[in-house]
Amino acid sequence: MKITVLAVGKIKEKFYTEAVREYAKRLSRYCELNLTEVEDEPTPETASVKQEQQIREKEGERLLSKIPAGARVIALAIEGKERDSVTLSKHLSELTLAGNSHLVFLIGGSLGLSEAVLNRADEQMSFSRLTFPHQLMRVILLEQIYRSFRIARNEPYHK
């Protein structure tokens, strides 16, 4: 299985980078992992609704240009479907059994994902109704993917 995490912006904090690196190392036993970043747009503090929409659209175009053909696309969005860890593990296993050999997870920038990106996604997934920093979301996503593999293989992992 191949998993791509496609995210807006670079990780700036060392502790996030180290956590991403650790989960990428752990995941290497289970899948081929690709972490891809696209440039984020500067967002003025006083950005209008229209400016925010334009920023999301520019970032969205960058994300859409990086989605590989034939991949199953899962957008992380607050409005998406919430699952617990066991259900997520079952879902990812079912996607694989259905012939999806490449999963792409999309993480937007500070303003979220554009409508075009959400429309392109095959599904939307939410980890919470809370808003998380997009850099931290990468760590949370990788940890949950790792947990999903461990659950699917009945391997021990803290609950």
pLDDT given for residue 134 in this prediction: 85
| Alpha-carbon dihedral 90, 127, 84, 144, rounded to 10 degrees | 60
> 122 is written with which tokens?
């095959």
Write down the domain spans for the chain: 2-41+50-152
SS3 track for 78-137? EEEEECCHHHHHHHHHHHHHCCCCEEEEEECECCECCHHHHHHCCEEEECCCCCCCHHHH
pLDDT in tens, 5-48: 999 999 999 999 999 999 999 999 999 999 999 999 999 999 99
The overall average pLDDT reported for the chain is 95
Q: How confident is the model at residue 157 (pLDDT cuts 50, 70, 90)?
A: confident
Q: Which fold has domain 2-41+50-152?
A: Alpha/beta knot (3.40.1280)
Q: For tokens 């199953």, name the residue.
A: 72
pTM as predicted:
0.95
